[in-house]
Amino acid sequence: MFEVYLNKLKDWVDQIDYVAIGWEILVLVLAVIGAITVHRTLGRYLLDSSSSGERTFRHMTLSSMQRVVFPLSLLLGALVGRAILTSTKVDVTLLNFIVPLMLSLAVVRLVVYVLRMALRPGPAVKAWENLISTSIWLLVALHLVGWLPDVIRALDAFGYTFGDLRISLYTMLQLAVAVGALLVMATWLSSAIEQGLSRSTFISPGVRIGLVKTSKFGLYTLAALLSLSAVGINLGALAVFGGALGVGLGFGLQRIASNFISGFILVFDRSIRPGDVISINDKFGWVEELRARYIVVRDRDGVETLIPNENLITTEVINWSYSDRKVRVKLPVQISYQDDPEQAMGILLEATKSSSRVLTEPPPAARLMGFGDSGIDLELRVWIRDPQQGVANVRSDVNVAIWKGFKEAGITIPYPQQDLHVKEMPARG
């Protein structure tokens, strides 16, 4: 096969008109220089004009023009040069060969960009947009010049056969293209489902997340199976892969599988939902997201902690808003034995008005808890309904008001003290 292509190449070289080729190369060089100049001026202007980030029709139009300004400028220069050479009776075989390639490059880049903006599959496709466009253009170029069947046969020649299954470079490329295309479609469909569910007012956040996770997992699984089927791989061969996966889960992936399954348990038993205020170990905050492997808990300092789902199943978790978002806050305080406890309890109740977050229903309560070593133990109990806004700030506001009230009334907060009784003084020597 190599000798056949070598002989074809020699025949093609013998038929080359080097004078005409020289003029055509000059036209191409001038077209490239002109296209680079236009791209640096007009392309930069279009890029700056479309950098607002808003998904408007004007933004999409300018971004589309920015992506095709170089190949279209190159195509225009080649067409003008071909027309000039044709009028002077110079052979333009090379330009006739290159012009369709330039046009296909512009069309492919434009189509890929429009599809990405329409499907919005994610940032990964945006980062790989140039590679995807170039790969598609290479396939189109090989088809236009008639080399695609030969390339396919050459790629298919490098492969191995495992029983009834043959794997070659061509099969792997087919699989990569099929997986990429189907995963993009699955991501787009799952995003569309998520957006549709988010607009529903009849579905709770927990059920909504569960449906989104289930649909996304199902679509990705379906995309993988369809990809294998599209390239001719028998799905029965997955039995070996399934056994290997089971061994992997038994030896090293059990934690990942446990976190994944725990995520579904948390979603469907609705024990933890987005917006809940929870405490686990020394972490306190409200749940922002439920993910497949972890949940995102944000605290009052703005720090986001990723807690594995398995920890929420196997560890004691305090859900401050599981059935009712109201939370009772206790503020202990101590007064001297010389002060009136009833007066002090009245000041405690009056101090609750210093914080607008303290509820009037249930009403605040002041209790005499006991008689300590240094003074009388009192406790103020108040209710709030927004623990995600913090508890320490409520304690601080009320404690400051208690301090001011005690100071105005002459009530003292005792220091820790002990009485020392001397029964006998030593005799002087």
The residues near 119 (Cβ < 8 Å, ≥ 6 apart) are: 184, 185, 187, 188
Pairwise pLDDT comparison (330 vs 222), residue with the higher score: 330
Please answer whether residues 355 and 398 qualify as being in contact, where contact means their C-beta atoms are separated by less than 8 angstroms: yes
- Rounded mean pLDDT of 386-393? 79
How many other C-beta atoms are found inside a 10 Å radius of the C-beta of residue 35? Answer: 22
- Rounded mean pLDDT of 204-222? 71
CATH 3.90.420.10, domain 327-409, yes or no: no
Q: Mind listing the pLDDT tens digit for each residue in 230-259?
A: 666 665 655 555 565 566 555 556 677 777
Q: Mind listing the pLDDT tens digit for each residue in 28-81?
A: 888 888 878 877 777 666 656 555 555 555 555 656 566 667 777 877 888 888
Locate the domains of the chain by residue range: 14-146, 174-252, 274-319, 327-409
Structure token digits, residue 377: 């133990």
Q: pLDDT band for position 385 (50/70/90)?
A: confident
The residues near 300 (Cβ < 8 Å, ≥ 6 apart) are: 284, 285, 390, 392
User: What are the start-end ranges of the H helices in 199-253?
Assistant: 205-230, 238-251
Residue 280: closest CA among 296, 259, 264 = 296
Residue 11 has pLDDT above 70, yes or no: no
At 166, give phi and psi (nearest 5°). -110, 130
CATH code of the domain occupying 274-319: 2.30.30.60
Q: Mind listing the pLDDT tens digit for each residue in 258-286?
A: 777 787 777 777 778 777 888 887 777 88
Please answer whether residues 320 and 276 qualify as being in contact, where contact means their C-beta atoms are separated by less than 8 angstroms: yes
Q: Mind listing the pLDDT tens digit for each residue in 13-24?
A: 555 566 777 787
